[in-house]
Structure 1
Amino acid sequence: MSATPSAAFHKRVTPGGWAAVAWGLGIVFTALLRMRVPGQEGPEVLPGFVILRWDGLLMLSVGTLLTLRGSALLARRPTSALNHLLVAPVIASTPLGVTAIPFAQYLAVDVALYAIAASRPGREARRALLLAEGLLVAYLAVRALCGWPAGTTGTLAVALAALVAWLLGRSEGQAREYAERSRAQAAEQAVTTERLRIAREMHDTVAHSIGIVALQAGAARRVIDTQPEGARQALGEIETASRETLAGLRRMLGALRTPGTDAQERPEPGPAASGSTETSAEVRGLPEMPGLGALDRLAELTGNAGVRVAVRVAGAPRPLPPDIDLSAFRIVQEAVTNVVRHSGAGSCTVTVDHRGPDSLAVTVEDGGPVPGHARVNPGPGSGYGLTGMRERVAVLHGEFTAGPRPGGGFRVTARLPLPTGDTTP
């Protein structure tokens, strides 16, 4: 039998409704205790003489009305509702001829304590518990001062039941608060992760092309008077790199502005839109989602900027998961960009090592600055490039090292673990 209907019913009944049900069950239980039921020689509790009179029935009716009123207010005004629910058992216990407030008459209060502890702030929940426990103590104190018998043991049992109900409600409230905080933190982390991903993609897409543009512009400025043809060629490379960068930015911004649209499915602007007869960036430059297969094109573009890139492959190339393929290329691209912008080196070497049975290793190293070779940015750089590479490797649970080489120059190495199904050459 499915539990779905009962769960739906549980959600439809409000805490105030459960408090009213608890009061009704308490009245029924109180009546059964004072009646002879089958299997018993007589009632377990002798009915008080007042309960059989009109004034006793009137007190029970007033207690019931107060409970119903408190149940109706429980969701909107919990403090006022608890006051009604606390007065009701005191009035209803009077005609029963008992020495303490019975457990059955306090069931509605227990339900209210649970609801308040689960849904209200801690200070309000603690105040509700103090009121409920204080009423029991005050009831015993009044009977003792008046010289009447006081049921201390029974009151202690009722107080413990109220405390248990409050603790259960408080536990549920804390669990709900923790779940809400966890969801908020997860959403914030997802936003942060996406921002970092976009920042890395923007950096990787733009930094390399801008470095090439800066180098070519510097070269054109130096030879424009003595070698017009060389300056014309440099300006052509600048134009090509600039168009590729703009096309990449348009694709990325289009993907961000259009939910559910893959950037790869967006058409490239045609010649009429770009104002040029050049082919698209995918043909002239790098593909939208490049992998290690685009290293030769990366080396060609970087070579045009004056930094020779030698690509070496160790071991037999194997099919790679798209995320690892893209990350490996981006790491190489960023490392080569750093060589172009900051090292002053005339060449660098890219090594892709497929020989590891369960990992892929990529290394980019240069031999240090060459006298007379221009740097795009002679300063130390912002550090975003190394941070982005380290983040990419960390996402894939790999290993990343970057630092000066013993013989001069700089080396970047990333080792990316491969899934089990992709380790066979």
Structure 2
Amino acid sequence: MPALRALPPRPAHLAVAVGFAIAGCLAGAYYHPAPWQPFDVRAYLLTVLIALPLALREKRPFPVLVITAGGFTAYLLLGYQPSLNFWSPAVAFVSVAAVERRRRAGSGAVVLAAVIALSGVCGRLPWPVVVVQAVIVPAVAATVGLTQRRLAQRNAELRRLTALLGQQQRQEARRAVLDERFRIARELHDTISQHMTIATLQTGIAEYTFHADPAAARTALGVAATAGRDALDELRRLLIVLRTHDVTGADEGPSARGDAGDREDPAAPVPDELLAGIDRIPALAEHLEVTGLRVTVRFLGEPRPLHPGVELCAYRVVQEALTNVVKHAEAAAAEVTVEYREHELDVTVLDQGGPAPGTRAAPTRTAGGPVRQAARSAGSGHGLIGMRERAKIWHGTLTAGARPEGGFEVRLRLPLGQQLPGEHHPPRPDRSSG
């Protein structure tokens, strides 16, 4: 039972039992007034019998009470003076009140009251004193025992809550590790996928046109090399962000900048230019021109400063959606619309599902058409999952699906909170690339 754990350890019980035995024997040896019997060997044995069972009161409280009360009764009926043996049944009853059920504790109280009354009668005390003594001693012992019971219950509850808290902390730690792994995987996918797609397509074009059109092959290899360098640069930025900054939060205070040759301070906040924002979407569209995809970017509404995490979310969704157009669609053109509403940011990415009417693909696209066709795959679905996870982090929604008129649509809606203080973004006109 939990109450048992709150009692003193067994060595303490043994010390109490031995102490009562020694004290009872000393009191009987040096104090034996008339008309009680002299303290002989039998008295010593009874005193030891009354006291030593107290060492077992932790595990067997009620039997210990019965033994001590029975021994004390025999001790009194044989004519020995009450002495210190009076306290052994009372101490035993404290353990009964602390751990036993109410019915057994009530029986123990009756046993203790009877032996205390017998002690008073044998001691020739006035009857009012005998009655008061028979009531007070069990009452005090019961109060002490119930206090131990409540303390034990509180300690048990505290241990339970401590164990539950430790379990929850371990679960939170595991959840934090998993969330961080998902975040890193999402960042790696969104950052590297676009550049690797471009590099793969351009190297395929170079292989396809190596003998037929060496100039086009050299151009494609140059584009692939640029995409590789951009991928390394993005990876470096990502590693800095993951090491020094929570991309889903905002750090206050000025950015820590040093000379170009200074070593980066891992404790310093990440400069704002290392976090992709909405203003980088036109550059992203221009970068995809080398794949033959013409991207039109439009800004609607009044542009205003947004939380860096919201801007990064919008940028990554656009980046992943356009990369999917390049990898999995036959569209020659796509359209990105960023609309600033009063309480919401609405980002839409549309593709036409095929070559745009009245347009002619770029030479690299024509040369690389078979390569791009071969590079398409069904996809793992991680990109869509990552986009939805990003939207969920910022309490937004993301829908994606085919349009009835053809093509595919990805739409992101993000609720807007308070603007960042001290920042001002001038209005951006409609821009297109490609």
Relative to structure 1, the CA distance from residue 290 to residue 60 in structure 2 (aligned partners, 3 Å threshold; closer, same or farther) is: farther
- Specify which of 220, 235, 238 is matched with residue 221 of structure 2: 235
1:218 corresponds to 2:207: no
Query: Are the structure 2 counterparts of residues 260 and 389 from structure 1 closer, same or farther at C-alpha, using a change threshold of 3 Å?
Result: closer
Paired with 2:231 and 2:88, the residues of 1 have a C-alpha distance of 87
**SS of equivalent to 2:411:** strand
Q: Which amino acid aligns with 1:357?
A: E
Determine the C-alpha separation between the residues in 1 that align with 2:153 and 2:315. Answer: 56
Q: RMSD between aligned alpha carbons?
A: 5.3
Residues 1:98 and 1:61: Cα distance change in structure 2 (over 3 Å): closer
Shift of residue 316 of structure 1? 2.0
Distance 1:268 1:216 in 2: 36
Counterpart in 1 of 2:280?
294
* The 10-residue stretch of structure 1 (192-201 or 224-233) with the greater mean CA deviation from structure 2: 224-233
1:314–1:103 distance in 2 versus 1, CA, 3 Å: farther
Matched with 2:390 is: 392
Match of 2:400 among 378, 399, 402: 402
Count matched residues. 333
Whole-angstrom distance in 2 between the partners of 1:266 and 1:248: 19
Distance 1:147 1:320, change over 3 A: closer
Q: Distance in 2 between matches of 1:380 and 1:338?
A: 10
Q: How high is the TM-score relative to the length of structure 2?
A: 0.61
For the residues of structure 1 that align with 2:408 and 2:117, how far apart are their CA atoms? 91
Question: What is the Cα deviation at residue 219 of structure 1?
Answer: 2.2
1:357 to 342, 354, 372: 342
In the alignment, structure 1 residue 366 sits paired with structure 2 residue 370? no
User: Which residue does 2:80 correspond to in 1?
Assistant: none
Q: 2:162 aligns with which of 129, 154, 176?
A: 176
Q: Confirm or deny: 8 A CA contact 2:50 2:67 kept in the other structure.
A: no
Gaps of 5+ in 2: 1-5, 20-35, 73-83, 119-133, 248-254, 262-272, 357-365, 426-434
Q: Return 5+ residue gaps in structure 1 as ranges.
A: 1-13, 28-48, 67-79, 111-128, 271-286
2:313 is aligned to 327
Q: CA deviation at 1:191?
A: 0.8
Deviation at 1:417, TM superposition (A): 1.0
State the SS of the aligned residue for 2:216: helix
Deviation at 1:141, TM superposition (A): 12
Sort the Cα spacing of 1:253 and 1:97 in 2 relative to 1 into closer, same or farther, 3 A: same
3-state SS of paired residue (2:380) = coil
Cα drift, residue 216 of structure 1: 1.3
Out of 95, 114, 119, the position equivalent to 1:106 is: 95
Instruction: Assess if the C-alpha contact under 8 Å between 1:393 and 1:399 holds in 2.
Output: yes
Residue in structure 2 matching 1:419, options 412, 417, 420 = 417
Distance 1:211-1:105 versus aligned 2 partners, 3 A rule: same
Cα distance change on mapping 1:358 and 1:90 into 2, 3 Å: farther
Q: 8 Å contact 1:101–1:136 — kept in the other structure?
A: no
Paired amino acid for 2:345: L
Structure with the greater relative contact order (CA < 8 A, sep ≥ 6): 1 or 2? 2
1:382 and 2:380 aligned: yes
Cα distance in 1, alignment partners of residues 144 and 241 from structure 2: 63
Instruction: Name the SS of the counterpart of 2:398 in structure 1.
Output: strand
**What secondary structure does 1:368 align onto?**
coil
- After TM superposition, list the pairs within 5 Å mapping 1:81-92 onto structure 2: 82-83=58-59
Structure (1 or 2) with the larger CA radius of gyration: 2
Q: Any conservation in 1 of the 2:86–2:116 contact (CA below 8 Å)?
A: no
